[in-house]
Amino acid sequence: MKLQIKGLSKTYKNGVKALDNVDLEIGTGMFGLLGPNGAGKSSLMRTISTLQSPDSGSITFGDIDVLKDQMSLRKVLGYLPQEFGVYPNMSAEKLLNYFAQLKGIASKEDRKKIIKEVLEVTNLWDVRNKSVSGYSGGMKQRFGIAQLLLNNPKLIIVDEPTAGLDPAERHRFLNVLREIGNNHTVIFSTHIVDDVRELCHELAILNGGNILYRGTPKEAEESLVGKIWMRIIERDEFDEFARNYNILSSNYNQDNTLNIRVYSDEKPHETFVEAKPQLEDVYFVALKKDRV
């Protein structure tokens, strides 16, 4: 099933253009939505999830007209917002039972069965009787995945799920997502480039409500072969380099020198060496171009 977005626009009351004529087509598999904070990722995802109405445009998922027939989409939707809470003092099992009912699982046995499975998948079985409001950040995110899975969704939307997770939690979380992504459409937004590289076979870069790039991570990296250059400079030289070259990123080394990466169609200077393009470079190039 394909998710098709056409001409989607949304302007908030305060004048911010969150979505600006977005066209996007997303097929089965993991799809990464990359963009800085405030790029419009959440707006896009909430709009797809029927939680927000756009000013114009259309969204279809398979043959569901999402904006008209919200209920049909909700039946196949699994959504995990960027930030959420739960009713206080309520165990995971109870809450999942609640969600299972909201999601239309009629029989008690069915609910029991699926709740057990999702709790095991997310490794929450042992703490199923603990109140969710007392969970750690990672556990809570996993709970979010658990509730999302209850209706065996065809379209899964997860909004910045890895923010604030420790490395182990993050890995675990991404593994679960990848597993789900095998036969569903998963849209996954993040501002962490690594997440996308590890997980997604397709991505889009979003900024200021516009899609800046759309393709596979591999294509993206290949498109920059021979255009990324790097060298080591002193801290004091940075301003001068910044003036003369198109610096994409700079990292400090242990000895207080800087590693800079520069985007240029040809070797900018003999002191630079060619570098293997990384997804991060694609991201920065896209953002830089957008600014110009």
Partner 1 sequence: MLNNIFLFETKRWFTSWTFYIYCTLFFSLAFLTMAIALGYFDVLGTTTSSNTYANSPMAINGILNDLSWLVYFIVPTVIGATVYRDFKYNVHTILYSYPFTKFDYLVGKFLSGFFITILITISMGFAFFLATILPFANPDLIGPIHIGAYFQSYFLFVIPNIFFIGTILFALVTLSRNVSAGVILVFILFVSQILISSLTNNIDDKYWAALFEPYGSEALSYITKYWTIDEQNTNSIPFSDIVVYNRLIWIGFSLLVFIGLYFSFSFSQSPISFSRKKKGERLTKNNFGSIMKLNLPKVNFDYSFIQNLKSTWNLSRFELSSILKNWIFITILIILMLFVVGSGYTLGQEIYGSKTFPVTWKVLDTLDLFLSFFVFISIALFSGILLQNSTTSRMNLLVDSTPIPNWVLFISKVIALIKMTVLFLLVGMISCILIQIFYGYYNFEFGIYFKSLFVYDLIGYIIVILFAMFIQSLFKNYLVGFITLIVFMLVKQFFFRFGIEQQIYHFNSGSIGGYSDMNGFGTTRTFFIYKAYWFLFTLVLSCFTLLLWRRGIISGLKERLSIAKKRLNVKIIIPMFIFLFGFIGIGYAIYWHNNIMEPYYSAKETELQQVEFEQKYKKFEKYPQPRITDVNVEMNIFPYEYNYDATVKYIVQNKSDKPIDSIFINYGKNLKYIKFSKANTLVSKDTLYDFNIYKLTQALQPGETMNVEFKVQNQPNTFLAVRSGVIENGTFINNGIFPSFGYSDGFEIADNDVRKKYGLPNKERMAEVDDMEARQNTYISNEADWINFETTVSTAADQIAIAPGYLQKEWEKDGRKYFHYKMDQKMLNFYAFNSGRYEVRKENKDGVNFEIYYHKGHEVNIERMMNAMQKSIAYYSENFSPYQHKQARIIEFPRTMGTFAQAFANTMPFSEGFGFIADIDEDNPNAVDYPFSVVSHEMAHQWWAHQVIGAAVKGATLMSESVSEYSSLMVLQERYGKSQMRKFLKDALDNYLQGRTFEWKSENPLMYNENQQYIHYNKGSLVLYAISDYIGEKNFNNALKDYVSAVAFQEAPYTNSIEFVRYIEKATPDSLKYLIKDMFETITLYDNKVNKVTSKKLPNGNYLVEIDFNVAKYRAGKDNKKIFKDENGKTLVFGSGKTKVESLPLQDYIEIGIFGEPTKQDKYELENELYLKKYKIDKINNKVQIEVKEKPMEVGVDPYNKLIDTDSFDNRKKIKN
Name the site residues for partner 1 (rule: CB under 8 A): 12-13, 46, 49-53, 71, 74-75, 77, 79, 81, 83-89, 98-99, 101-107, 110-111, 113-114, 117-118, 121, 123, 133, 136, 144, 147, 149, 151-152, 168-169, 171-172, 175-176, 179-180, 182
Q: Which two tokens stand for residue 16?
A: 């911010």
What whole-number distance in Å separates Cα of residue 215 and Cα of residue 31?
Answer: 10
Output the DSSP codes for 180-233.
Answer: HHTTSEEEEEES-HHHHHHH-SEEEEEETTEEEEEE-HHHHHHTTTTTEEEEEE
What are the C-alpha distances in Å from 62 to residues 1, 10, 24, 149?
5, 23, 14, 20
What whole-number distance in Å separates Cα of residue 283 and Cα of residue 285?
Answer: 5
What whole-number distance in Å separates Cα of residue 196 and Cα of residue 55?
Answer: 29
